[in-house]
Chain A
Amino acid sequence: MSILVIAEHDNSALKPVTLTTVAAASQIGGDISVLVAGSGCAAVAEQAAKIAGVGKVLLADDAAYEHQLAENVSRLVVSVAAGYGHILAPATTTGKNLLPRVAALLDVNQLSEVIAVVSPDTFKRPIYAGNAIATVQSEDAVKVMTVRGTAFDAVAAEGGNAAIETIGERCDAGLSRFVSEELAKSDRPELTAARVVVSGGRGMGSGDNFALLEKLADKLGAAVGASRAAVDAGFVPNDMQVGQTGKMVAPELYIAVGISGAIQHLAGMKDSKVIVAINKDEEAPIFQVADYGLVADLFEVLPELEQKL
Chain B
Amino acid sequence: MKVLVTVKRVIDYNVKVRVKSDNSDVDLANVKMAINPFCEIAVEEAVRLKEAGVASEIVVVSLGPKAAQEQLRTALALGADRAIMVETDEALESLTVAKLLAKVVEEEQPELIIMGKQAIDSDNNQTGQMLAALTGLPQATFASELKLEGGKALVTREVDGGLQTLSLNLPAIVTTDLRLNEPRYASLPNIMKAKRKPLDTKTPADLGVEVKAHTQLLKVEPPAERQAGIKVDSVEQLVDKLKNEAKVI
Interface residues of A (CB under 8 A from B): 67, 69-71, 74, 92-94, 96-105, 107-113, 122, 126-140, 173-184, 192, 196, 220, 228, 231-232, 237-239, 244-245, 247, 252-253, 263-264, 270, 273-276, 282, 287, 289-296, 301, 304-305, 308-309
Contact = CB atoms under 8 A, between A and B. Distances in A.
B229 A94 contact: no
Interface string B238-249: 110110001011
Contacts of B129: 70, 96-101, 104
Determine the interface band of chain B, counting residues with CB < 8 A from chain A. 35 or more
By secondary structure, the A interface counts as mixed
Given A108-B95, A287-B229, A244 B220 contact: no
Contact of A134 (B11, B167, B219): B219
B246 to A, nearest CB: 5
Contact of A93 (B158, B169, B249): B158
B163 interface: yes
Contact of A127 (B121, B128, B164): B121
Given A92-B160, A110-B94, A176-B169, A130 B223 contact: yes
A276 B231 CA distance: 10
A136 B218 contact: yes
A40 to B, nearest CB: 18
B125 interface: yes
Contacts of B241: 292
A182 B222 contact: no
Given A71-B139, A263-B16, A264-B13, A293 B235 contact: no
Nearest to B158: A238
A96 B125 contact: yes
Interface string B164-181: 111111001000011100
Contacts of B166: 69, 176-179
Nearest to B141: A97
Given A129-B120, A232-B179, A304 B95 contact: no
A66 B235 CA distance: 48
A293 B162 contact: no
Interface stretch (B45-53, B130-138, B194-202): B130-138
Given A112-B126, A127-B121, A136-B218, A180 B159 contact: no
Interface string B61-100: 0000000000000000000000000000000011100100
Contacts of A177: 166-168
B139 A132 contact: no
B133 A101 contact: yes
B249 A136 contact: no
Contacts of A291: 226-227, 229-230, 246
Interface stretch (B1-9, B106-114, B184-192, B208-216): B208-216
Contacts of B30: none
Nearest to A253: B248
A171 to B, nearest CB: 13
Given A112-B124, A263-B16, A305-B239, A179 B95 contact: no
Contacts of A292: 229-232, 238, 241-242, 246
A69 B154 CA distance: 14
Nearest to B144: A238
Given A74-B133, A178-B165, 15 more contacts: A70-B139, A71-B132, A101-B133, A109-B214, A127-B121, A132-B223, A176-B138, A179-B167, A181-B161, A228-B178, A232-B179, A238-B179, A245-B178, A263-B14, A289-B229
